[in-house]
Amino acid sequence: MSARLLTATAAALFAATPVLAQPEPLEGDPAEINFGIISTESQQNLERQWQPFLEDMEEALGMPINAFYASDYAGVIEAMRFGQVTVAWFGNASAMQAVDRAGGEIFAQTTKIDGTRGYYSHILVNADSELQTLDDLLAHCGDDTIDFGIGDPNSTSGFLVPSYYVFALNGVTPQDCFASVRNANHETNLLAVANGLVHAATNNSEQLARTEANAPDAAAAVRVLWTSPLIPSDPMVLRADLSDELKGRITDFFLRYGVEGDNVEEELAILAANQDGMGPYVASDNNQLLPIRQLRLFRERLEVEADEDLSDADKSEQLAAIDDQLAALNAQMEALGQ
C-alpha cells in the first residue's frame, strides 16, 4: 500500500470558514488519517523524507494515511482545528498553537540518530559577508541597508527563538532594524542568503545539516553568525478527541518504530533519511511546551516594557498579568522538576 497525498493552502481551505474559538469536534474516529507536515522546506523534499514512514504507518495501522501539506504552518494548524488533519509533525511553537487552538495533544517527540533531543536556531549570512558578529548585524538597525529573512510566524527556530534572543533582548524588532523583512521557510531563507538575495536570515541546525549533505555548494556559501541555546526536539501531535483505542495504536506505532519488530534496521534507515538524521521517537506530552511558553511570555514582557505608546497604568497592568502567568508557569515547571 502507498500513503496518499493531500495539499492545501490556508487561504484555499479556510477563506470562507469563520474563525472559531474552539476546535471543531470530531464525529468519531476518522476512516482515514490525514497526517500534517509543516512547511520547513519544499514540498518535494518533504515528500521524499516522509513518504516511506507514512507508508509503513499505513501498513501497520491498516488504514489509509494521507500526507497533508500546506503553504505555511498555519495551514496545518487550522486543518487540525477543523478536523481535516488528525496527526501532525510540528515544531514547538506551532505545536503550542495546535494544543491551544486546534484540539491537539502531544504524544511523542523526535530524537536525533545519536539520541539527543534538541537542535539550534541560527542566523546565517553569506560566506563573503562583512558581518562577523551579531553586534555587527544589529549595528545596522535603522540605516535601511540590510534585507533580512525570517521564518514562518509559527516557527520555533525561524521566528520565536530569534525574536526573543536576538531582537527582544536588544529592545528592537526586525521591522525596526532592516530595510526589508521577508518571511519564508528554512530552505528558502538559506538559499536566499547563499544567493545574495538577503544579507542575513534565520535558520536552524537541522536545515543547515541537510543542505551540507544534499547541496554542499549552497551550504558552503553561507556562514553561521549566531546560534541559540538548545531547543527541544519537535513534538508529534494528534487530536485529543480521538478514541483511546486509536490513540493507543498510533502511539504504539511511533514508539515501536525503529526500536522493536522484524524491520528495525529498515526503519532506522528511513528515520535517518528524514531531516538531518532522526532516531526513534520517544514518549512525550504537553509539558514539553512549558519552556516554549515561558520563552513566549519573556518576549511579550520585553515588548510591553519597550512600548512607548502604553500609559504607565496600562503598562503596569499588562506586566502584572504576564508576571502572574510566568509565576504559575514557573511553579508548574518546578513541580515537574524542569
pLDDT tens, N- to C-terminus, the chain (338 residues):
456 666 554 334 443 333 445 899 999 999 999 999 999 999 999 999 999 999 999 999 999 999 999 999 999 999 999 999 999 999 999 999 999 999 999 999 999 999 999 999 999 999 999 999 999 999 999 999 999 999 999 999 999 999 999 999 998 999 989 999 999 999 999 999 999 999 999 999 999 999 999 999 999 999 999 999 999 999 999 999 999 999 999 999 999 999 999 999 999 999 999 999 999 999 999 999 999 999 999 999 989 998 989 999 999 999 999 999 999 998 999 998 87
Residue 334 grid coordinates: 518546578
Give alpha helix (H) positions in 171-311.
174-177, 186-194, 205-214, 216-220, 244-256, 264-272, 290-306
Asked if 89 and 234 count as a contact pair (C-beta separation under 8 A), the reply is yes
147 close to 198: Cβ distance less than 8 angstroms:
yes
Residue closest to 282 by CA, chosen among 240, 244, 234, 239: 234
Among the four given CATH numbers 3.40.30.10, 1.20.58.90, 3.60.20.10, 1.10.600.10, the one describing domain 291-335: 1.20.58.90
CATH number of 119-231: 3.40.190.10
Nearest residue to 266 (alpha-carbon basis) of 55, 3, 33:
55
Q: How is the chain split into domains, by residue range?
A: 4-117+233-285, 119-231, 291-335
Whole-structure pTM over 0.95, yes or no? no
Q: Which residues does residue 236 pair with via DSSP β-bridges, in sequence order?
A: 89, 108
Which residue matches cell numbers 526503519? 267
Q: Selecting from 3.40.190.10, 1.10.1040.10, 3.30.465.10, 3.40.50.10490, what CATH number does the domain 4-117+233-285 have?
A: 3.40.190.10
Cα end-to-end distance, the chain, whole Å: 43
Domains 4-117+233-285 and 119-231 share a fold: yes
Those residues with Cβ within 8 angstroms of residue 265's Cβ, 6 or more apart along the chain or in another chain: none
